Structure 1
C-alpha cells in the first residue's frame, strides 16, 4: 500500500519549492547587465525568425485558400 503523507506538509513543501525556483529565476534575470539582456532578446528574436522561416505554410496562405 502507498505511503501515508500529510497533505498540509506536502502542500507547504511544494509551495516552498515553487518559491525557491521563482527566486532563482529572478536572481538570474536581475543579475545580468542590460547588454546581456538585450543580446538574449536579440538571439530569441533571431531564433523565432528562423523558426518562422522554416514553416511549410504561413497563416496568410491558409486564409487565402
Structure 2
C-alpha cells in the first residue's frame, strides 16, 4: 500500500528546497571578497581582449550609413577561373 502524503507539507517542503537552492547560488555569486570579484573581472577582461585581438576582421557597425555588406572583405561566391 502507498504511503500517505500530506500535499500541503509537500508543497511547503518543495518551496523551502527551491529557496535554499537559490540562496546557495546567491552565496556563491555574491558572497565573495572584493579582491576575488576584481580578480575574476580582470581575468574576464583579459580573455575578452585576447579574443578581440585575434579576430580576423572588424566589420563596421551594421547601423552606420557607410556599412555595406556587399563591400565587406572576405570570401566571395565567384570563382577566380
Secondary structure of 2:56's counterpart equals: coil
Structure 2 gaps of 5+ residues are: 1-13, 61-66, 72-81
Correspondence for 1:7: none
* TM-score with structure 1 setting the length: 0.55
Per-residue Cα deviation, 1:6-27 (whole angstroms, up to 9, x for no partner): xxxxxxx7xx76x83x433311
- Alignment size in residue pairs: 51
The structure 1 segments of at least 4 consecutive aligned residues displaced by more than 4 Å after TM superposition are none
Indicate the structure with greater helix content: 1
Structure 1 gaps of 5+ residues are: 1-12
For the pair shown, which has the larger CA radius of gyration, 1 or 2?
2
* TM-score with structure 2 setting the length: 0.46
Root mean square deviation, CA, Å = 2.9
Q: Distance in 1 between matches of 2:46 and 2:40?
A: 10
Q: Distance in 2 between matches of 1:34 and 1:44?
A: 15
Correspondence for 2:57: 57
Correspondence for 2:40: 40
